[in-house]
Amino acid sequence: MTRIVAREALPRRAWQLEQQGLHPLLARIYAARGIESAAELDYDLKSLLPPAALTRAAEAAALLADALEAEARILIVADYDCDGATACAVGLRALRAMAAGTAAEIGYLVPDRFVHGYGLSPSVVEAAAATSPDLIVTVDNGIASVEGVARAHELGIAVLVTDHHLPGDTLPDAECIVNPNQPGCGFESKCIAGVGVMFYVMLALRAELRARGWFAEDGGRREPNLAALLDLVALGTVADVVRLDRNNRILVSQGLKRMREGKLTPGVAALFRAAGRDPAKATTFDLGFMLGPRLNAAGRLADMSLGIECLATDDAARALNIAQQLDALNKERREIEAGMQEQALAALATIDVVDTAGIALFAPDWHQGVVGIVASRIKEKLHRPVFAFARADESGNDSGGQLRGVLRGSGRSIPGLHLRDALDLVAKRAPGLLKKFGGHAAAAGVTIDEADLPRFCELFAAVADELLSADDLTRTLHTDGALESGYFSLETARLLENEIWGQGFPPPLFEGRFTVEQQRVLKEKHLKLRLRAGELRFDAIQFNFAEAPGDEVRAAYRLSVNEYNGVQSVQLMVEHLQNP
């Protein structure tokens, strides 16, 4: 069951925003998102929180500046998702620009998710040591790498941690940690992405080098324009699905502005081309659903080094060649995902989903890199917390011919259930059941023995049942109410598309009652509709629909621009249909 609830937009607040110059519809939408003044929508760069507000950013800058002056070897250790790849590219581009004319070496290493696991593990440090770095800089990871940092010190390697994830009880003993979520950090934007943290560290480094006279004309070193990296920052921020507070909206807005002006790094331009999208019309949708998945496909199916090379190169032809490889990987990922999802739905047919609060699924041939997406898809379909498991690489056969091994699971949750806390409760009730686990409220990972899967399924379902209420298990769609008939236009659709929307600052979703005049199924899974409201008629589409509607429907939808054969028209993107 899905409950449709209209957000509350205080009329006086909406009126005040309108008086400050906002479009009436935008004024109502922003009022419902807690915006009280048009000044909060000023996304000029000068409105960014200053780098000095980020605890230890200045200390990190001094550490990096010393390394550049000493012509040291700096190695960036990245995570294998889009945030990690863009953060790594920001670091590579900025550090190489600032090290120009020196013998300093700037390299990178990205762990293999199937071999090294997550973060700066001791095995990653061992691999890094092969290049004899003087300084390791982590991006989008490291805050939990206590053992890895200790191993680096044993090998005589200094470590700078830049991360945004929540810390554990013990921090790594790194030379410096920059993380807005570490104890004592007063930086207001706690939800900044890993790429945003690295961008801030590069801003602080430039300021430090400027103060040292590094960019003096007689030295031949030019001060880099770090704003040129904002397309990378915007991409990583949106793709990592962090909450778009005002500071993040500024970073995304400035990145989109540069894209629309044609000021893109070659890799981002190549990704737009591979995705068949026009950067002159770039939106947050493009970043989150078109470019981001193509980069993430490298980390899921191959090696994220491919994605980093795409973003780091200045050779447009090479960037396009890599982007096309990433596009092919993403198509392969979609095919794998479709097969896994079909198997998952078949398995669900044997489960009483209505009376099951938490679900865990497994198939012997599932791919480790795609289980997280499958868990997310099933979670969206059922509105239940879901774990999907695949066999880890260390699986094998015992002497008796029976399959033995290890399973790695990726979970996605719904509001009301903190997934990492739920795993902690499972671990306490069954000591030794979980070999390893971690994560946060919405997503988590766990490793178990394959033989223990039935026990995990039972305990996870029981814990979810205890922690989730009946209301939690009812999907709630928050809308912006009805859309006035005069706003069903291309002008309004373009107006909404060009604003900054994302996690925690959702795009407008409207609701209404319609008569269904026509309906047909496309590719056996999408529903194409012709809807009527009064004298108005609309084309609409619902992707991956569950069931065909009746003659009269209540719909939750987004206003979008559909382009076909060069002709643009308004289209309703239906998120939910139900009979009134």
Q: pLDDT at position 454, please? A: 96
- Find, among 301, 307, 306, the residue nearest to 329 by Cα: 301
> Which one, of 377, 386, 378, 431, lies nearest residue 409 by Cα?
386
User: Exposure pattern of 274-283 as b/e (b: 16+ CB <10 Å)?
Assistant: bbebebeebb
State which amino acid sits at residue 495. L
- The CATH code of the domain at 46-328 is 3.90.1640.30
Which residues, including other chains, have CB under 8 Å from residue 346's CB and lie 6 or more apart? Answer: none
Amino acid at 431: P
So what's the pLDDT on residue 287? 97
Q: How, if at all, do strands 475-479 and 73-78 pair?
A: unpaired
| Residue ranges in the chain whose pLDDT is less than 50 | 394-403
Distance CA 391, CA 318 (A): 35
Q: Which two tokens stand for residue 184?
A: 């004592």
**Residue by residue, what is the 3-state secondary structure of 467-511?**
HCCCCCCCEEEEECCCCCHHHCCHHHHHHHHCCCCECCECCCCEE
What average pLDDT does the chain have? 93
pLDDT of residue 403: 38
Q: How many helices (H) and strands (E) does the chain have?
A: 18, 19
Tokens of 476: 């709630």
The string over 3-14, giving b where at least 16 C-beta atoms fall within 10 Å of a residue's C-beta and e elsewhere, is ebeebebeeebb
Which residues, at least 6 apart from 420, have a Cβ–Cβ distance to it below 8 Å?
Answer: 437, 438, 439, 440, 441, 444
- Can you read off the two tokens belonging to residue 84? 């990690």
Cα 143 to Cα 463: distance, rounded to the nearest angstrom: 28
Residue 111 confidence (pLDDT): 87
**Cα atoms in the 13 Å half-sphere on the side-chain side of 536:** 17
In the chain, domain spans: 46-328, 351-473, 476-578
Strand spans (E) along 231-279: none
CA distance 99 to 530: 59
Q: Locate 119 and state its tokens.
A: 């973060």
Check for a shared fold between 46-328 and 476-578: no
Residue 397's pLDDT is what? 38
Cβ pair 296, 235 in contact under 8 A: no
The hierarchical CATH code for the domain 351-473 is 3.10.310.30
Q: How far is CA 532 from CA 107, 516, 539, 554, 564, in A?
A: 58, 7, 9, 12, 21
For residue 129, give the amino acid letter: A
> In this predicted model, what pLDDT tens digit does every residue of 275-331 receive, in sequence order?
999 999 999 999 999 999 999 999 989 889 999 999 999 999 999 999 999 999 999
| Angle at CA of residue 518, ends 513 and 523, nearest 5° | 110
For residue range 186-237, list pLDDT tens digits in order.
999 999 999 999 999 999 999 999 999 999 766 668 899 999 999 999 999 9
Q: What is the pLDDT of residue 438?
A: 81
* Per-residue pLDDT tens digits for 516-574: 999 999 988 899 999 999 999 999 999 988 788 889 999 999 999 988 888 899 999 99
CA atoms of 61 and 176, how far apart (whole Å): 10
Task: Name 124's Cβ contacts closer than 8 Å, sequence gap at least 6.
Answer: 77, 109, 111, 116, 148
Would you tell me which CATH number, out of the four given (2.160.10.10, 1.10.150.300, 2.40.50.460, 2.30.29.30), belongs to the domain 476-578? Answer: 2.40.50.460
